[in-house]
Chains A and B, each alone.
Chain A
Amino acid sequence: MPILELSHLKKYFASQKAVDDISFSVDQGSIFGLLGPNGAGKTTLIRMITGIFFPDEGEITFNGRKFHPVNDVIHIGYMPEERGLYKKMKIGEQALYLAQLKGLSKKDAMEKIKEWFTRLEMQSWWNKKVEDLSKGMSQKLQFVTTVLHEPKLIILDEPFSGLDPVNSNIIKDEIYKLAQKGSTIIFSTHRMEQVEEICDHIVLISKGKKILDGSVKQVKQDFKESLYSIGFEQLPSMNGSGTPFEILGQKEQSYIVRIHQNNTPNDVLKYFLQQNAVILSFNEILPSLNEIFIKLVEGTSVSRQFLRTESVQEKSKA
């Protein structure tokens, strides 16, 4: 059952169509990747899901009913990309304050904070001030305050930025645990290797439109280009035409080949066996999400234009 369904969501600002007719659904308990280049409309989309913005058109269904920001906000935990804390406040009080704003009673909030602080080894932080924390430490605190009230839907925007590998792994493990317990996680990033590792399902948006929607496995299958890597004991010399493949490159003792449209991997193996080549390995090369991402984003002419103007702006700023 989907916990969140967006249908034909639109949000136009004066100068641009930030979100232009986007629909998708997120299954309960899944880890969902919301991907897109800078300025694609991810943040606007998330702000509508969290009730900060109202959509101009379209509908959001949350937990089977029409999304009601004031009532449903307690079931949502949102860690924005632009996030911070009150610098002069003590860590414990800060966590307590944010939990109470979510609607937890003081007693419940206290219990849960203590539990989380113990789990992430933050007990000694209670009376420290935020300004005394390192960036990684305050990220950890932000994560705790996001998930403290056990939300059904957790939205994390670039949750690993600024975290070292050790703390990244701690947070990653907690994300898995939350998903196992039934929480749904929407994960927004442009770090594809993390998406590949964590997410079940992804949606890619660019220039306010959805350009890709599917499971990570399926998407990779859809974009594969019949590429294989074949390892040999000794590279066979290649001459003559009429092979069932073309060679795209070679790396040490292996060829990278693309199989012609009407041929199968078996045809390739047969060909090399006939040549008496000793085959050590034969692997399909699936495209990385990174490659798919770049291909799709660059393929949409509007976004290419966007990226260009963006880089011009960057230059003029510098």
Chain B
Amino acid sequence: MNKIFIIIKREYLSRVRRRAFVVSTFLFPIFIILIITGSVFLAVKSTEKLRIAVSDEHFIHSLKSDSSSAIFEYNPDANQKNFDDKGYSAYLKLHPADFAEGVDSIVTRKSLGLETMSDIRSRIRKAYENTMLEQKGISRTTLDSVLNVISTYPNAQQQIVNNEGQVKEAHEGLAYGIGFGSGFLMYLTMFIFGAMVMRGVMEEKMNRIAEVVISSVKPFQLMMGKIIGIAAVGLTQFLMWIVLLIILFSALQLFIPADAMAHAQQNMPGSQNATIAMKIMQQKDAFMGGANWPLIISCFFFYFLGGYLFYAALFAAVGSVVNEDPQEAQSLMLPITMPIILAFVILTSTISHPNSPTAFWASMIPFTSPIVMMGRIANGVPEAVPWWQLFLSMALLILGFIFTTWLAGKIYRTGILLYGKRATWKEMIKWIRRSS
């Protein structure tokens, strides 16, 4: 036991002290912050407004808006040939009465981006909408006040009732975010740290240090020492990232004016996830109370460790049979990486349908369960995942990693001492069958 600890310590320290570790630990959060601040500044910068000449005076009032990225002006002298001489970036030609004359067109010299175009289009629709509302006798202000009142109403709440009549609220949006986020993190870590284990084993074999070490300790101790040491490296890096991100984010909020941030949030060309994250940020209370955080976090750690142990042992076995040629590693890794990728594919459908048969089976089988189960758990235990399913899945994962570790130990023991030729699958099966 003491010897395993010495190995763990070396594996851990030698990696944590490496320049690459320090650099990636600090660069990753800075990189994320740079992307965010970058997009904030881009959004702020692009507020330089376009001046657009409009052909029809009638709509000019409705077109105007403070939040729009364009300034609309009516200029009877401007036309689609001379608009840039008059200082306009574009010329908007409207045909509100009869589209047979032609569709509305925006004439410009330089092409306008997707966002500007969609902004202009929505302004035009709004202008038509206002005109039509007025024709029907409804003023824009009346409609806005009605919409305002409605927007303060709470959304319809999903409530899950169990047999005893207890009611629980569900937050499907939040569940989606948590499920996808934790599943994706799981997917990444398996690849990153699995590959790290494999490279470590290959390095030991190629440096010819393996035989020196296993004349002092059992091969299994060396393998487990490496696997646990690297797990500790991974946890350290996660922890550092979280701490650094929190520090950097709070520092950022001090430096960026609040209105610029708010503006950026409105205009941010964000992806789906960013908007979800934004919404979550805005509804902090729902975020904190909307999920069973202690359960989710403890499940995450369980499935992270279980899944890592399950795959890391297999990666170690692959590393032990490879010789010199990194391409051998690629082809041997394939049977291990395929289930991880498959699990991620299943995860994407699991989040929307946590109770489908695919989701159920994939969350039981240890090959895919660490990733898929996280997607299901986010929807609530025991609402989406009954307790027995969770415990069965955990038990199977524990049995699974005991099995893969045992299996890998047998391959590793022989493979690490075999120089010169790559072992075939047939030989590896023989090593597994052979008793010690």
Contact = CB atoms under 8 A, between A and B. Distances in A.
Nearest to A46: B215
Interface residues of A, number: 28
Nearest to A79: B212
B436 A86 contact: no
B301 interface: no
A85 B207 CA distance: 6
A82 interface: yes
Contacts of A98: 212-213, 216
Contacts of B3: 101, 103
Given A78-B215, A80-B212, A83-B212, A100 B207 contact: no
Given A86-B14, A88-B14, A101 B207 contact: no
B160 to A, nearest CB: 55
A52 B208 contact: no
A152 interface: no
A89 interface: yes
A76 interface: yes
A97 interface: yes
B214 A52 contact: yes
Contact of A54 (B206, B207, B436): B436
B207 A52 contact: no
A80 to B, nearest CB: 4
Given A86-B207, A88-B14, A97-B10, A102 B216 contact: yes
Contacts of A100: 6
Contacts of B6: 97, 100-101
A82 B216 contact: no
B199 to A, nearest CB: 13
A82 B211 contact: yes
A103 B203 CA distance: 24
A30 interface: no
B203 to A, nearest CB: 8
Interface in B350-388: none
Given A54-B436, A97-B6, A101-B7, A84 B207 contact: yes
Given A88-B14, A89-B14, A142 B212 contact: yes
Contacts of A76: 215
A14 interface: yes
A188 interface: no
A52 B436 contact: no
Interface in B390-436: 417, 419, 427, 430, 436
A114 interface: no
Contacts of A79: 212
A179 to B, nearest CB: 20
Nearest to A49: B215
Contact of B430 (A14, A70, A82): A14
A254 interface: no
A50 B215 contact: yes
Contacts of B143: none
B208 A82 contact: yes
Residue picked from A47, A50, A52, most chain B C-beta under 10 Å: A52
B209 A84 contact: yes
Nearest to B221: A101
A87 interface: yes
A101 B14 contact: no
A128 B214 CA distance: 25
Contacts of A307: none
B217 interface: yes
A265 B159 CA distance: 113
A6 to B, nearest CB: 17
Contact of B211 (A54, A70, A83): A83
A15 B334 CA distance: 28
Nearest to A88: B14
Given A54-B436, A97-B6, A83 B208 contact: yes
A73 interface: yes
A85 B213 CA distance: 10
B209 A86 contact: yes
A88 B3 CA distance: 21
A101 B211 contact: no
Contact of A51 (B204, B209, B215, B417): B215
B14 to A, nearest CB: 7
Given A14-B430, A84-B207, A73 B215 contact: yes
A52 B209 contact: no
Contacts of B212: 78-80, 83-85, 98, 142, 145
A51 B207 CA distance: 21
A299 B62 CA distance: 107
B7 to A, nearest CB: 7
Residue picked from B7, B14, B215, B419, most chain A C-beta under 10 Å: B215
Interface string B93-136: 00000000000000000000000000000000000000000000
Contacts of B204: 86
Contacts of A52: 211, 214-215, 219, 417
A73 to B, nearest CB: 6
Nearest to B436: A54
Nearest to A51: B215
Interface string A37-51: 000000000010011
Interface string A132-156: 0000000000100100000000000
28 contacts: A14-B430, A47-B417, A50-B215, A51-B215, A52-B214, A52-B215, A70-B218, A80-B208, A80-B212, A80-B215, A82-B208, A82-B419, A83-B209, A83-B212, A84-B206, A84-B207, A84-B212, A86-B203, A86-B209, A88-B18, A89-B14, A98-B212, A101-B3, A101-B7, A101-B217, A102-B216, A103-B216, A145-B212
Given A79-B212, A86-B207, A98-B216, 13 more contacts: A47-B417, A80-B208, A83-B211, A83-B212, A84-B212, A86-B14, A86-B209, A88-B14, A88-B18, A89-B14, A101-B213, A101-B217, A103-B216
> Which 8 pairs, one residue from A and one from B, show the smallest C-beta to C-beta distance?
A84-B208, A84-B207, A78-B215, A101-B216, A80-B211, A82-B208, A84-B209, A50-B215
